[in-house]
Structures are given as C-alpha cells and as structure tokens.
Amino acid sequence: MRLAVTRWRGAASAATLALLTAACDLKQAAVLDPKGPIALAERNLLFDAFCVMMVVIVPIIVLTLWFAWRYRASNTNARYTPTWANSVKIDALTWLIPAVIVIAVAVLLWRSTHRLDPYRPLESKEPPIDVQVVAQDWKWLFIYPEQGIAVVNQLVFPAGRPVSLRITSDTVMNSFYVPQLAGQIYAMAGMQTRLQMLADQPGTFVGRNSQYSGGGYSQQHFEVQAMSQADFDAWVARAKQGGTPLDATTYPALAAKSRANPITYYSTVEPKLFDTIIDKYRHSGHAHSAPVRR
C-alpha cells in the first residue's frame, strides 16, 4: 500500500512539475527545487494538497464536457424531464465527497503543521549552529554568537549541519524566507521567532524578505551559502581578520536605512546585542506602533 502511494505521489509530482515548469523557469520557482529536508517536506505537502484537490477538479472537468456533449441540441435521444425535482444520490455525492476531501486536507495539514513546526529542533547527529537574525531597512544582519562575528546580507553555515535561527526586527515587520531550504517566518520588533533549516549538500541559495517593508523591499535579498566544515571555519577566520567591531557605537550607522547593501563583515560583536535590540522595543512600547516606511 505504501509503495503504491509513493508511486502515485511520484507520478503526480512529475505531472505537477511538468505543468508548472511549462509556465515558468524552475530557477524562478525555487520552492519546487528543494535542497534540504524541510523544503522537501513542504514541497511534498504542496503536491499532496494539489492531488487531493484534483479529486474534485478532474471529475468536474470531465462531467462538464460530458454534460455539454450529452445534452447538446442535436442529441434527440437525451431524456427530457422538465418536472424533475431532486435526487438523493446526486445530493449525497454533492455533499459527501467535498466533506471527505475537506477532512482529508484537514488531517494532512494538521499532521504536517506539527511535523514542520519551525520551532522544533531538527534531528541530527551534528549539533546545530546558532545564528541570530535581525531585519533592518533594507538588509539582514546575521550574528554568530558562538563564533563572535556578524555579517550583513550573507548567511553561511556547514552543509549537513542544522541551523537554529533566532529572528527579530529592528524596524517594521519583515518575513524571513529561503525557499530552497525552509519556509517563511515573520520578523517582528520586540519579539523573537525561531526557524530551523538544513542543507543536504554544499550550494549557494537566495534568501529574501517576503513581506513588503517600504521603498527598498525589492532589493532586500541576501546570499545563503552551505559549505564544508573546513570551508566554514576558514570563512569565520577571514571574517574575524577582515571585519570591524560591531558595538553600541557602530550599530546605529548600520541600522540606518540603506539599499542594496554589499556583504559586510564584523570581526567582533557586542555581547547580547541581539537581546538588546529586542528589549529596546519592549521597554519603549514601539513594537506595535511602528508604521510601514514608504
């Protein structure tokens, strides 16, 4: 039974990919080209929901074409019943089939929602790498507390090792999204959200803000690199040597509005800077009053 379901899903996935890629380049539809277990599970959920909905849509299309042919004006053999009122069988099909489909989709989404909880740590033999993420106007700041460095618009981590993200905003609400590795989650001032991700193999991906946040929104992208552990260690060493300190003196200039920021490294980071950014909104009461900047 499981093998049959797997084959059915594979055939449905292939058909869905063929339809979707016929209309757009696969490189532009990154969600259909996952490179990690979370993104793969989310893509499969998309395909499963699509296939369940096809249980309704395909018969409707077939019946529409059949009715148009069966009751065409030239068909004199079709039965004419002007006094027909109702049919128990048709009513049963009309109500029971949609009800079953709604229940099936509800169960599917319920199970997947808990299994793909962004706060739930990933199971792995490797310990996760902790990264603190701060959304700004219009860029992303990544703080590595264990390594003592920070980077603007570049997220780097070892392939095959889970990444545990703590995410907040130092401006209006943003949405953190790396389509090929994980789902999206909001970044909000005065609050902290969590997201787990993992890349199966080395590669370069694109991250973005999927929530409109003002004039520089369209340029608020960041580079994501998964690399070997040795390359990651070398990258950390280069950041420590070539960057400048990030503290209470240099941070305000970084937090100022700017567009199309280049990748920038900070060799040291003030301890608990991430918590300080969250606390300043909690104490001032600005977390829910910041307007969208245009």
- Mean pLDDT, range 272-278, rounded to an integer: 95
The reported pLDDT for the residue numbered 31 is 84
Is residue 133 over pLDDT 50? yes
> Is there a contact between 218 and 182 (Cβ–Cβ < 8 Å)?
no
What is the Cβ-side half-sphere exposure of residue 53, based on CA atoms within 13 angstroms? 7
pLDDT tens-digit readout, 139-178: 999 999 999 999 999 999 999 999 999 999 999 999 999 9
At residue 91 the predicted structure's pLDDT band, cuts being 50, 70 and 90, is: confident
- Mean pLDDT, range 172-190, rounded to an integer: 95
Is residue 52 over pLDDT 80? yes
**Reported pTM:** 0.79
Do you find a cis peptide bond into 138, omega within 30 degrees of 0?
yes
The reported pLDDT for the residue numbered 105 is 86
- Mean pLDDT, range 27-54, rounded to an integer: 86
The reported pLDDT for the residue numbered 14 is 52
Q: What are the tokens at 271?
A: 């301890």
Give the three-class secondary structure for 74: coil
